Amino acid sequence: MGWTPRSAEILRAVAAYQLAQEALAASFAARWAKALAAVEAREVAGSLSELEAAYAAAVRESAAASYALSISFYRLVRALETGRVIGGPGYRPGASLGSLWQDFNSLTGKRTGSGPRTPLPVDTRNPFPAEDLKREAERAAETFRHQVADRVAKHERERAGRGSAALDDAELMAWEREFLESLKTGGSGAGGMLVQDGGRDMIHTTLQNDPGALGYYRKTDANPCYFCALMAGRGAIYKSKRTAAFGAHPHCHCQAVPIFSRRYQLPAANDRFSRMWRDFGGGSLADWRTYYSKTTKT
Ligand SMILES: [Zn+2]
C-alpha cells in the first residue's frame, strides 16, 4: 500500500537482464565454437559422442546461470514494483532493495543499481519451480541430433557419393568449411535458445504460481525479427489459466518480463512497435513482415 513502482529503476534492470541473458547465449556459442574448432571436418563423424558431451555440458552450465540470474531478476523487479520481497531460492532474511540490487549486480557482473538497506516485508511463498534437469537434457539431446548429428550424417553421405575426384582442393575445402559453419550456427542458435529458456521458461511458470504476478511482456533485443516485434508491440499479456507459451526461436534474445502492478511501464521499443503496428493498419503476417523490414531499414 502506498508503494510507487520504481519504473526508471525497473527499466534499467530489464535492459541489464536482457543483455545478460544474451551474453549467456553468446558465451555458450563461443564454447560450442571452441569444441568444434578442435575437430577437423573429416573427424567430426568419429567425434560425435565427445562433441555431444561437450554440447550438453555447455548447455547445462549456461542454463543454470540463466536460472539463477532470472530468479534474482524476478525478485528484484517484484520488489521494485510492489515494495515486497518473495521467498524461494536465493532469498535471504532481511532482504532489502539494496541487497536485491547487490545480488543482481553480482550475477550480471555490472553495477546497474543500488538501494536502501531497509528490510522489506516478505511474501514467504516460493513460486519458483525447480530446474527440470531431465527435460532440459532431453531437449539438449534432441537439439544436438537435429542441428549436428543429422547434418553430419547427411554430409558423410554426400562425401561418399562424390567420390575422391569430384572436387578440386579449393572447392573441397570451401565445402568442408561451409559444413563446419552450419554446425556452428545451427548448434549455437538452438542451444542458445535452450540456455535462455533456463530462465525464460522458469519466469513464465513462476508467474502462474505467484498470486502477486499479473502477467508479463516481451523485452526484445536491439534488433528483433518481425515476429518478436509484433509480440512486443502487444504490450502486457495478462495471465490466465492457459497463458500461451512464450514462443522464443533460435537466435532470439527476447525475454519475459513479469509485471506486478497495473502501473508498470513498457520499454520505449515496445511502444515504438505498437505505433508501427497501428500505422501498418492491418493485413497478413507476410504483409507485416514486409512493412516491418522496410520501416526498420530506413
Ligand atoms: Zn525474439
What is the pLDDT averaged over residues 9-30?
A: 97
- Residue 162: per-residue pLDDT: 76
d(CA 234, ligand 1 centre) in Å: 14
d(CA 45, ligand 1 centre) in Å: 32
CB atoms within 10 A of CB 62: 25
Q: Are 120 and 97 in contact (CB under 8 A)?
A: yes
Beta strands in the chain (DSSP E): 85-86, 122-123, 215-219, 237-238, 255-259
Query: Is the model's pLDDT at 169 over the cut of 90?
Result: no
Write out pLDDT tens, residues 189-223: 999 999 999 999 999 999 999 999 999 999 999 99
d(CA 18, ligand 1 centre) in Å: 11
Write out pLDDT tens, residues 261-271: 999 999 999 99
d(CA 218, ligand 1 centre) in Å: 8
Write out pLDDT tens, residues 121-167: 999 999 999 999 999 999 999 999 999 999 999 999 988 887 665 56
Cell numbers given for 178: 561451409
Task: Return the closest-CA partner of residue 135 out of 60, 247, 80, 65.
Answer: 60
d(CA 253, ligand 1 centre) in Å: 5
d(CA 57, ligand 1 centre) in Å: 25
Cell numbers given for 136: 532440459
Average pLDDT, the chain: 93
d(CA 22, ligand 1 centre) in Å: 11
